[in-house]
Amino acid sequence: MKRLGRGERLLMDGATGSEIQKRGGDVLKGSTPEWLGAWSATANLESPDIVRAVHEDYLRVGAEILISNSFWTNRLRLEPIGQGDRWADYASAAGRIAVESRDSVKPDAYVFGGMAPPCAEKPDWKVPDAGFLGERVLFDLFAEEAGVLKKARVDAILPEYVGHIQDAVVAVEASATTGLPVFLGIRHVTNEGTMQYGEAIPELARALKGKPIAGVLLMCSQPDAATATLPGLRRAFDGPVGVYPNVGYMPLAPLRGKTVKEGINTLGVSAGDFAVRARAWVDMGAQIIGGCCGTGPEHIAALKPVVKG
């Protein structure tokens, strides 16, 4: 927080789940054509060496922030694959592997404990998880997972892939029960500069005012959408801001009926292209810059001279 307060820029890692899949890890347990299952959560216990290698590769190319592989290590997301009672084991392993990777390769780097809302199946996706499940249920899911990650010695908590203002407030307040800095990752922003379902960025900033929030990041959005939304976020939010967009990765079958054997880069954004776009994010005031789905160590290596100067 001192470094960010001085105006420094920090380089975040790239995708974890899609990179695990590219390296042969099974991230599709319980998935259907319309449901992603528990995504990369099970890899923490089934393929820890792959998870560790992904983290270490990011550190070696210059990443200063790792996000633990705990995206959907909550009980609600693991229940459909029969692992709901072991959620804490998966979350703890995610934190431990990330921290050990950091300690062995780059001890002065930071580990953010990443965790997403459960994205419960519901008739109308415009309804927040907090509205569908209840704010208390969502609060408890975030708080208990954040507590496990704190015990694993992460440096900050990152509730990410949040798509609604109501969910954002609950996630921040629940994560803050750890006493660690809390950063917020907002998903799928639009080319019109709004949140996924049309909520305005200034409304988000007003809802977060006075809350224990250390920074707001735009994530898992197309690079152009991040570029369109970042100026409004910078104007509305007076703390550190950042971006870690995706490059259009499509998981393997059976999601959405795909039968391909490799992930598809649907946007065609190369590492070089990604770095070019990052120059605009730096100019717009982004202090934390990395990548999401489909990005790999090559993207983060290309970002380093842009982010660090």
Q: DSSP letter string over 138-172?
A: HHHHHHHHHHHHHHTT-SEEEE-SB-SHHHHHHHH
Q: Which two tokens stand for residue 156?
A: 């900050």
Number of domains in the chain: 1
What pLDDT sits at residue 219? 98
- pTM of model > 0.85: yes
What pLDDT sits at residue 65? 99
Which CB contacts under 8 angstroms, 24+ apart, belong to 196-204?
Answer: 196/163, 196/164, 197/125, 197/126, 197/163, 197/164, 199/164, 199/165, 201/229, 201/232, 201/233, 201/236, 201/237, 202/232, 202/235, 202/236, 203/165, 204/165, 204/168, 204/236, 204/237
What does the alpha-carbon distance between residue 4 and residue 181 come to, in Å, rounded to a whole number? 12
Angle between helices 48-60 and 87-105 (to 10 degrees): 40
Q: Which two tokens stand for residue 185?
A: 């990752």
Q: Please enumerate in sequence order all residues whose Cβ is within 8 A of that of 194, keeping only pairs 6 or more positions apart, or say none.
A: 200, 201, 229
What pLDDT sits at residue 33? 67
Q: Using the 8-state DSSP alphabet, how is residue 66 labeled?
A: E
Nearest CA-CA partner of 217 in 293, 159, 278, 301: 159
Q: Could you give the dihedral angle defined by the CA atoms of residues 157, 236, 226 and 188, in that order, rounded to the nearest 10 degrees?
A: 60
What pLDDT sits at residue 89? 98
Q: Please enumerate in sequence order all residues whose Cβ is within 8 A of that of 24, keeping only pairs 6 or more positions apart, or say none.
A: 47, 50
Give the CATH number, domain containing residue 57. Answer: 3.20.20.330
Q: Which two tokens stand for residue 183?
A: 């950063």
Residue 159 — φ and ψ, nearest 5°?
A: -70, 120
Nearest CA-CA partner of 30 in 251, 212, 196: 251
Q: Quick one: which H or E segment has residue 67? A: strand 65-67
Domain span at residue 295 reads 2-308
What pLDDT sits at residue 260? 46
What pLDDT sits at residue 250? 66
What pLDDT sits at residue 248? 81
Q: Please enumerate in sequence order all residues whose Cβ is within 8 A of that of 292, keeping only pairs 6 or more positions apart, or say none.
A: 14, 15, 219, 220, 221, 244, 245, 246
pLDDT means over runs of 10, the chain (309 residues): 97 96 87 80 97 98 98 95 96 98 98 96 92 97 98 98 98 98 98 98 98 98 97 98 90 54 66 97 98 95 97
Collapsing DSSP states into helix, strand and coil, what is residue 289? strand
Sign of the CA dihedral 173, 174, 178, 181? negative
Nearest CA-CA partner of 246 in 217, 282, 205: 217
